[in-house]
Each structure stands twice: as structure tokens, then as C-alpha cells.
Amino acid sequence: MGQKYTMEEIVTAAKVSGFIYQGSEIYGGLANSWDYGPLGSQMKKNIKDLWWKNFIQMNPNNLGLDSSILMNPKVWEASGHVGGFSDPLIDCKECKQRFRVDKLIEESTDEDLVVDGWDSKQMIKYLEDHNIVCPVCKNFNYTGIRQFDLMFKTNMGVLEDESSNVYLRPENAQGIFVNFKNIQRTSRKKLPFGVGQIGKSFRNEITPGNFIFRTREFEQMELEFFINPNDPKDWFGFWQEEINKFLIELGIDQNNFRVRKHSDQELAHYASQTIDYEFKFPFGWGELWGLANRGNYDLKQHQDHSNEDLTYRDPQDNSRYLPHVIEPSVGVDRLFLSLLVNGYHKEELEDGQFREVLKLSPKVAPITIAVLPLVKKLSDKALEVFKLLSLEFNVEFDFAGKIGKRYRRYDAIGTPWCLTFDYDSLDDKSVTIRDRDSMEQKRIEIDKLVNYFKDLI
Ligand code: GAP
């Protein structure tokens, strides 16, 4: 079951209003690359700030990190990414189109089938048994399955040979693991503690698509939470609850997300337990946020490959051990798309006209308040209200066009409140606040605005 509105409607709304543009558009674009416009970049920043606040700033156990994208290639050998981070690929011999076999199978059925973890034989058998033809030319004539490497490779320095190969990181997590010792030593943190990072990741995806759902360049917000393996507290459950609270704080309707547990076959080689928070996109349920118990896999791998002692000395009994890790990991772009889908509505008004409204939480809406002088000649005075509010909030000032049209524009870009400065404002030192969702209006004194909005947000 998908959503009420199509992806096309969501993508059009996002492009038209300036949230997202096609990447390199004036040169005909670059496949599946997207640029976040003025509204999109502000909203993305708000999402990241809110994550940082909830997962780092307000948690006494957690710290932040900003590690580099390019790392010693040995990092990726140790983590298992070099030679092991790939997707199964198949070609149609008739029309030469290329597909990710697991997605080809999953998309051929309405069942909630998860093919991750199947071997090539199982996938070929499924294609044959269910006669899954090429979605493009409708023939059944495929090559065998090959593994396609997802790592983006480049060269560092002047030489372009094997010795200068480096990779763009495919996840943030490894930057955290390789810094575990530094962080623990310099912060003097005791277990349990977490290290979080927000940053770009790169994967040479075979089938990017669905707008910003799956791209080759994307941003992740990852937390690696280090624990004593004998800690009786259910930290996996704790972080599951934190994810849940965060999604609700963002205003995501509880009917739009669900939890799916990975089967044993599907589990990644490093994980002993994984769940995905899935979101109901217009094209069906899709992974939004992963929560994994990575055990001590990563620290052990890095310890073995670097010959550095990465163990932790327990202050209770001086024993040394490798901590275990619980990892909540979410893509910023996917969360962004979820918020667009969750918030997008078309409503019929009493006069028979339609309005587009993006019901975004004030915590992430790119513009929190629009200050609108009723007519242009009230601009100077209205600008004083803008100046007052812009010290605290993201505010836009707009005097162009009829007031009704301006309301419509701010509804469509998710601005929770419009303030209208009219002739009466000159005398009563008050403005009219219009609420985006209810469209109700009320009068409030200018002096009280800052506290009024602080309370609301
Ligand atoms: N460190 C664990 C890790 O990277 P993952 O499930 O591969 O796990 C975590 O990625 C999250 O990153 C996903 O749940 C998704 O939100 C986001 N993500 C992964 N690949 C992506 C892509 N190609 N485009 C956009 N977001 C992606």
C-alpha cells in the first residue's frame, strides 16, 4: 500500500517551490544527482540540527565527531568493504538493460519479500519459477548474476596506479571505529558511550532512483554506541525507543512507519540483530532507519588489521575487552523525503479552490514565520517585526502580491505561521497570525511574539 499522492506530485512540488533541483541541470543534468535549493538546504540543516540535539547534545553519554571522507584504504579492507560490498547484477540480453536482481524480484510482487541474503541460485530459481520478465522489453533472456562493487574509487596525488587508490567512504561508521581509541583517551568517557557523526557517504548504486530515496551521494546520521557486552541494560531497546520518539517529534504519522526485523539469512555479516524502521513511500514500504547490533566485529577487525590494541580497560575490575556496538543509522535524504511525503496535502477550500499545503513540523520547516505587510507601503514598519523575529527564528519577509496568494505560497512550502502587518498594526502594535493547518487567524501584540512562538515550538 502506498500513499495518497504519487511520487510525481511530490517531486513536482519539491522542484517547483525550490526545495530540490536536478543536479547540473543547465548541462542536461547528471543522472540521479540532486541539489538542495534555498528551502531544501535550510530544511536539511534543521533535520540535522535536531538529530544532533537529540542524539548528541541532550544525551550525557554521547559525543560528536567529524572524520574525513578519504581514509587509508586499509580501513576498507578491515571493514570488509573492499571486495565484499557489492550488489547482485543481471543484464537483459535482449535490450541490454541492467538490474539489481534482488530489487527486480522484490518489485515483481506485492508480497513483502526481502531478497537480501539470498544466494545467486535462489534468485535465478525465483526468476524462472515466477517467469519474471525484463521490465523494459518484457523478454526472459538474462545473463548470469555477477557481483557489482559499490565502492567509489579514486586516486590520491599525482600517480594514478594501484598504490594511489583511495575510496570515497560508503558509510560514516568506520570513521568512528578507527577513532575509538583517540576519543576514549581524550574524552576519558567510560562505557557506555556513543559517538555520532553526520556526513556524506558514497555508493555506486546500480539502480539509484525514486528521487532522493536512493542516490549515489547521500548523507547519513550515524551513532555508534559502545557498551560492555555484559551490560544487563537493553541498549538495543533503548535506541529503538529513541528512534521512535524522534520520528514522532518530527511529526511523522505513526501509520506511516513500521518496524521490520531482519531474518537470520538477511543479517549483514557484522550484525547479530537488526531492525529497520520502514516508511510508507508512494512506491511502497522502504527502509528509512536501521538499528543494528554490530557486536565487536568492527573494533576486532581494525585491531587485527592495524595491530593496535583497541581494547577498553574496565575501571571496575581492570579487565580489558573490546566493547560491543549498537548502531542507529539513518539517511538524511531519506528522512527528508519521508517528511515531504508525510506532509504533502491537497485540500479543497470552501470556495471550491484547491490549496497545496506541506504540513511540516515547525522544528524542521525551512521558514518558520513569514512576515507579510498587507500592502507595500507598510513595509518599513513590518520590517521591524521581521528584524525582531529573525534574531530567534527563520523568518522571511515578503511584500509582493495579493495577501491570499502569499498565504498559498507559504502553505505550499510548509511555513507554519504567517504574520500580517496591516493599517491597524500602526495603532494597536499588534499583527494577525494565520495558522497554516487550521487557517485560523488571531491578533497578538508585537511585543509578545517572540515568547509566543518560543512556547509553540
Ligand atoms: N553504517 C550502517 C549503514 O550504513 P545502511 O543500512 O547501509 O547501514 C543506513 O545505511 C541508512 O543510510 C539507510 O537506512 C538509509 O536511510 C541510508 N542510505 C543507505 N544507502 C542510501 C542511498 N543509496 N541513498 C540514500 N540513502 C541511503
- The alpha carbon of 72 and the centre of ligand 1 are apart by a number of angstroms equal to 22
Task: Quote the CA–CA distance of 83 and 86 in Å, as a whole number.
Answer: 8
Domains contained in the chain, CATH given: 7-73+168-340 (3.30.930.10), 367-456 (3.40.50.800)
Which cell goes with 63? 559525543
pTM of the model: 0.94
Burial 396-432 (b: 16+ CB within 10 A, else e): bbbbeeebeebbbbbbbbbbbbbbbbbeebeeeebbb
How is 38-107 classified by DSSP, letter by letter? HHHHHHHHHHHHHHHIIIIIT-TTEEE----SB--HHHHHHHT-TTT-EEEEEEBTTT--EEEHHHHHHT
Of 103, 220, 275, best ligand 1 pocket probe by most atoms within 8 Å of the beta carbon: 220
Work out the angle between the directed axes of helices 38-52 and 235-249 (0-180°, nearest 10).
Answer: 140
- Provide the H-helix boundaries in 391-440: 403-412, 423-428
From 103, 287, 288, mutation site for ligand 1 pocket: most ligand atoms within 8 A of C-beta: 287
Evaluate whether 145 touches 126 at the Cβ level (below 8 Å).
Answer: no
Query: Maximum distance among all alpha carbons in the chain?
Result: 79
323 lines ligand 1 (CB under 6 A): no
Q: From atom 6 of ligand 1, which residue's Cα is the shortest distance away? A: 290
Burial class (CB in 10 A: 0-12, 13-18, 19+), 162: exposed
How far the first Cα of the chain sits from its last, in Å, is 33
Looking at residue 2, what is its pLDDT?
Answer: 60
Task: Please say whether the beta carbons of 420 and 404 come within 8 A.
Answer: no
3-class DSSP string for 303-352: HHHHCCCCCEECCCCCCEECCEEEEEEEEHHHHHHHHHHHHEEEEECCCC
Mean pLDDT by groups of 10 residues along the chain of 457 residues: 86 96 96 97 98 98 98 96 90 94 91 87 95 96 94 89 90 98 97 98 93 97 98 98 98 97 88 96 96 98 98 96 98 98 95 94 98 96 97 96 95 98 97 97 97 94
Q: What angle do CA 43, 45, 51 make, to 5 degrees?
A: 105
Which of 177, 218, 332, 338, when mutated, tests ligand 1's pocket best, judged by the most ligand atoms within 8 Å of its CB? 218
Q: Would you say the C-alpha torsion 398, 403, 406, 407 has a positive or negative sign?
A: positive
343 Cβ below 6 A of ligand 1: no
Position 361 scores a pLDDT of 98
Q: Which residue reads 493547518 in cell numbers?
A: 437
Q: Which residue lies with its CA nearest to atom 27 of ligand 1?
A: 331
Element (H, E) at 207: none
Element (H, E) at 453: helix 449-456
Provide the H-helix boundaries in 133-252. 173-177, 180-187, 235-249
For residues 436 and 434, give the distance between their C-alpha atoms in angstroms, rounded to a whole number: 6
Per-residue model confidence (pLDDT) at position 429: 97
Q: How far is CA 111 from CA 23, 106, 107, in A?
A: 34, 8, 9
- What does the alpha-carbon distance between residue 38 and residue 17 come to, in Å, rounded to a whole number? 10
